[in-house]
Structure 1
Amino acid sequence: MSNAETSGAGESHGEFHSSAEVRTALIDGVSFQAKSVQYVEIDGQAVFEGDIILGSVEDVDRRNEELMARGDADLPESAVIISGKQFRWPAALVPFEIDANLPNQQRVTDAIAHWQGRTPIRFVQRTAANAAQYPDFVRFVPGGGCSSFVGRQRGQQNITLGAGCTTGNTIHEIGHAVGLWHEQSREDRDRFVSIVWANISPGFEHNFNQHITDGDDVGPYDYGSIMHYPRTAFSSNGQDTIVPTAAGAVIGQRTGLSTDDIAAIRAMYGPSPASGPAVSWESARLDVFGIGTDSALFHKWWDGSAWGPSVQGWESLGGIATSRPTALSWGHDRLDVFVIGTDSALHHKWWDGNAWGPSAQGWESLGGICTSPPEAISWAPDRLDLFVRGTDSAIHHKWWDGNRWGPSVQGWESLGGISTSDPVAVSWGANRLDLFVIGTDSELYHKWWDGRAWGPSISGWESLGGTCMGAPAAVSWGPDRLDLFVIGTDSALHHKWWDGRAWGPSLQGWESLGGVCTGTPTAVSWGRDRLDVFVIGTDSALHHKWWDGRAWGPSLQGWESLGGICTSSPEAVSWEPGRLDLFVRGTDSGLHHKWWDGRAWGPSLQGWESLGGILTRFTD
């Protein structure tokens, strides 16, 4: 931690720049009413708690006048900042620019890599060619101290980095830009820290006055948060100004995001990562699973440099599986894998960053008598929801809440229905689940968890129409947005969507996207209003189409051929904007791979890379 971060109250002291003239503003939040806070003017900007920009002083004053003219007698004389979804970056994608005059630009690129490696937040560099596509963006600029707005502000918003601002400071300021307040500003902070007012530089006490409870601060108080003040913030004498009530607690680190920082971001931003035989838990990281000829689970991975354990090799993880594997990741270096065993029960193993649990070859039984492969979804760190079809053809559910399995280790909750397909689940936000199956009338059926109850009822389902020839594919590219795909009786792909208000093209209707398709489609989204859909054609090759926010490509009814002779449905994964990785089983029963790097298909448009193995089950 640099001296600029740990000491001083002057205008150029890292995150803790300030001035003597203190003014009043108003802020509100998702879970608190409008309240007054104090700020100072620095270079014409209203700066709050040392490094949070409320806007220009002119903007604050203008907002004051608007509030007074509106007659809000209960509101203090002030202005407003962050509240609600409009301050989230759509699809967790942050466009950015770096000012050419900013020194040491490596601290920005390193901070961005840190965020992309640990959270759903993705960054795309804004250029002249794509500027119209990204009207809202962050610009890293030189200046005095380190500072940022909180959340997306629309248009250009600056993150200011002075000469003393480190990579750690940059990670912290990005935290503000994506929606995080300072940790010690929480409403419950006085239970966890004590403020030593006598040690604060005179005139700068206002930086410790705030008590904010917002939807942006979730979970337990986190001493280890990169968003927490250090002990000597705004100190007049080098002594502590903020002291943890827990003995030995360390505060104010500027090394990297804590586990709870990551949890907060994952709770704020959806959708959750999809499950399947291939998953990614950070940029340039892939984990792939398949069932071998001995019915054991096999694993391989891409670590950003090479395939492990080798290009053609696989690691055995034991077990005797009778279903395809389902894997998902809810955090950095965390994997959970599920299969159905010979006893028809669900079995589970996990990677915790150090070792496989319950052992390298062992599995945990989660009970049940399952007649479908499992479907798994996670909407927050350490939260899992699992779905299978039971012997009664109803869908059954269990969950991990961070402490225990519900309704019990071996027990399951019935969600009703008579399903003829495997269940498909998707989540677009914290505590939100959408579940889809095909019914006995070949129509698509839907139910949802809204955080309080199952809709339309615990056993009921909503019909979405159609005559479906196989399991659906479901994908979400943002809060309250769903896109569904099925193969119809004409073998074409059909599509419907939920836009937050209504089903399109209608509750029972579907849009035809053409093609002559076999197997089960797969769909993936790598950004707001971006979809990529893949099917196997009658020539056994992989075929692709995409939605770019304006139109379907290569046309509404057309498809692009990506070659191959495929013996399984495809699996698609995206680990950053403009990056796709595709996997299929070939005629040699080995796994084959191709990728889109933002410019071209690799190893070629029609070509595939062999990853070896002899797989008896992959996606099917």
Structure 2
Amino acid sequence: MAFDMTFLNTFCFALTVTAVAGTCLSSVSWEDPRVDVFGASSSSIWHKFYTGWDWQPSGSFEQIPAPDASCPSVSSWGAGRLDIVYVNASGGNVLHKYYEHSWGPSWEGVEDLGGNFTSLTTNSWGSGRLDIVARTPEGAYMHKAWTGSAWYPAGKGWEDFGGNFEGPPAAASWSAGRLDIVGVGAENGTLLHKYWQDGWSSWEDLKGGPFVGAPSITSWGPGRFDIWAVKDKDLNHLFWDGSQYRGWEKLGGVSQVPQVVHWNATKIDIIAKLDDGYFIKSWDGDSWNPADGWSPLASSFSSEPSVVAKRGTNFLSVFGIDKNSELRSQVWTGYDWQPAANKTWSLGLLKGSEVFRPEEL
């Protein structure tokens, strides 16, 4: 059965990635109404996409060959373009695959970008641009970028940002030519920040903490970014308003940084996993709703959520993997949750799904 799911991902085609207990999700939109959802198994990356009318492949998942795949970071710099980047689970090098009319460098092939890493994140600030930030086993962050015609540094080289971080990096862009990177320092657990704007800044210590796990950074538009990190099972929030930092504020108990999206300037939606259920908290431009705690959504999930927001309208899609290994979704239409606040649609069973190779997506 088809249902109306018109999506556009949040600012600059940002993405959401989540991984927990062997399950992972990444969702992205290259333009309204397209949405793509990805995850990883030991020998392939599975994929399903919404066309504006229905989900394809119908009744199954596309299995993209990717031996030794880890949880992929997926981004889009524009209509018809997808970039999949992941750490080789057996070798630690970064592998890259892309879609532009067809899968490249080939259906079976991947591009080896070198390095030796434990985790990574990707971001695109606009057409022809892809940034990768990765963490080494020693805790340093390194960077590589596709500039539109070539990789920088060239070949398998990487730009060394140094530092000593306890976990994965996070990155966001508020406009073309701006990139913000954050991570939790291994020495004292504070939040460290570095940015590109006509050149790289040094690392600045934003204090707070001691934080644990992976932080997150998001932006609703030029001059604004929001940072999210967990301390003592409490979500902490700090933001840059264009001239100064404000925060840290505490928003309630979570064990991992939740998914955060912006469907417009001044709007924030946070989807968190508490026990096996999903919960939401939203900023409407003036206040948090609910003021205290979180509003419940559907439950019985094994994965953290992944969320896509339609830019310019109060429309959200939430994805998760349930305890039976089914990919499930529910949407906020701007007025209500569909199929219901506590219910979801099934998008298919992941275990044993049929291998599908389309000629065209």
Q: Say yes or no: TM over 0.5.
A: yes
- Equivalent pairs, count: 335
Match of 1:279 in 2: 28
Partners of 2:301 and 2:155 in 1: CA distance:
38
> Which of the residues 329, 341, 357 maps onto 1:605?
341
Instruction: Say yes or no: does 1:573 pair with 2:315.
Output: no
Match of 2:249 in 1: 511
CA positional deviation for 1:273: 2.0
> Which of the residues 542, 550, 572 maps onto 2:286?
550
Match of 1:339 in 2: 86
Q: Which amino acid aligns with 1:493?
A: L
The SS at the match of 1:517 is coil
Q: Which amino acid aligns with 1:572?
A: V
Q: Which amino acid aligns with 2:244?
A: A
Instruction: Say yes or no: does 1:409 pair with 2:155.
Output: yes
Is the Cα contact below 8 Å between 1:467 and 1:488 reproduced in 2?
yes
Match of 2:38 in 1: 289
Is the Cα contact below 8 Å between 1:518 and 1:535 reproduced in 2?
no
CA positional deviation for 1:321: 3.3
Q: Name the one with the larger strand percent.
A: 2
The SS at the match of 1:484 is strand
Partners of 1:413 and 1:333 in 2: CA distance:
29
Is the Cα contact below 8 Å between 1:290 and 1:324 reproduced in 2?
yes
> Which of the residues 70, 90, 94 maps onto 1:323?
70
Alignment of 1:301-312 (within 5 A): 301-310=49-58, 312=59
Q: Which amino acid aligns with 1:482?
A: F
- Which of the two has higher C-alpha Rg? 1
Alignment of 1:288-437 (within 5 A): 288-292=37-41, 294-310=42-58, 312-341=59-88, 342-352=90-100, 354-372=101-119, 374-437=120-183
CA positional deviation for 1:410: 0.8
Is the Cα contact below 8 Å between 1:447 and 1:462 reproduced in 2?
no
> Which of the residues 520, 537, 549 maps onto 2:274?
537
Q: Which amino acid aligns with 1:531?
A: I
Alignment of 1:41-60 (within 5 A): none
CA positional deviation for 1:467: 2.2
Q: Which moved more, 1:313-322 or 1:381-390?
A: 313-322
* Gap change, CA 1:450 and 1:462, over 3 Å in 2: farther
Is the Cα contact below 8 Å between 2:278 and 2:298 reproduced in 1?
yes
Q: Tell me the percent identity.
A: 35
Partners of 2:206 and 2:189 in 1: CA distance:
10
CA positional deviation for 1:408: 1.4
User: Gaps (5+ residues) in structure 2?
Assistant: 1-5, 18-25, 353-361
CA offsets 1:112-171 (integer angstroms, 9 cap, x no match): xxxx99x99xxxxxxxxxxxxxxxxxxxxxxxxxxxxxxxxxxxxxxxxxxxxxxxxxxx
Match of 2:240 in 1: 498
Partners of 1:304 and 1:370 in 2: CA distance:
37
Partners of 2:278 and 2:66 in 1: CA distance:
31
CA positional deviation for 1:380: 1.8
CA offsets 1:232-271 (integer angstroms, 9 cap, x no match): xxxxxxxxxxxxxxxxxxxxxxxxxxxxxxxxxxxxxx94
The SS at the match of 2:173 is strand
Q: CA RMSD in A?
A: 1.9
Instruction: Say yes or no: does 1:481 pair with 2:224.
Output: yes
Q: Which amino acid aligns with 1:339?
A: Y
Is the Cα contact below 8 Å between 1:316 and 1:361 reproduced in 2?
no
TM-score computed with the length of structure 1 as normaliser: 0.52
CA positional deviation for 1:463: 3.1
CA positional deviation for 1:615: 6.9
CA offsets 1:494-526 (integer angstroms, 9 cap, x no match): 111110111103xxxx11112x31333110000
The SS at the match of 1:272 is helix
CA positional deviation for 1:465: 2.1
Is the Cα contact below 8 Å between 1:423 and 1:437 reproduced in 2?
yes
CA offsets 1:314-366 (integer angstroms, 9 cap, x no match): 001101234211111101111111111122111111111x2111112221111
Q: Which amino acid aligns with 1:470?
A: G
Partners of 2:66 and 2:351 in 1: CA distance:
15
Q: Which amino acid aligns with 2:332?
A: W
Partners of 1:438 and 1:614 in 2: CA distance:
33
User: Gaps (5+ residues) in structure 1?
Assistant: 1-115, 121-269
Match of 1:525 in 2: 262
* Gap change, CA 1:349 and 1:613, over 3 Å in 2: farther
Partners of 2:12 and 2:268 in 1: CA distance:
16
Is the Cα contact below 8 Å between 1:519 and 1:568 reproduced in 2?
no
CA positional deviation for 1:427: 0.2
Q: Which amino acid aligns with 2:107?
A: A
The SS at the match of 1:581 is strand
Is the Cα contact below 8 Å between 1:485 and 1:495 reproduced in 2?
yes
CA positional deviation for 1:409: 2.2
Partners of 1:567 and 1:446 in 2: CA distance:
31
Alignment of 1:572-591 (within 5 A): 572-576=307-311, 577-591=313-327
CA positional deviation for 1:597: 1.1
Partners of 1:542 and 1:497 in 2: CA distance:
24
* Gap change, CA 1:550 and 1:565, over 3 Å in 2: same
Partners of 1:520 and 1:493 in 2: CA distance:
7
Match of 1:29 in 2: none
If asked which structure has higher relative contact order (CA below 8 Å, sep 6+), I would say: 2
Q: Which amino acid aligns with 1:283?
A: D
The SS at the match of 2:82 is strand
Is the Cα contact below 8 Å between 2:139 and 2:167 reproduced in 1?
no
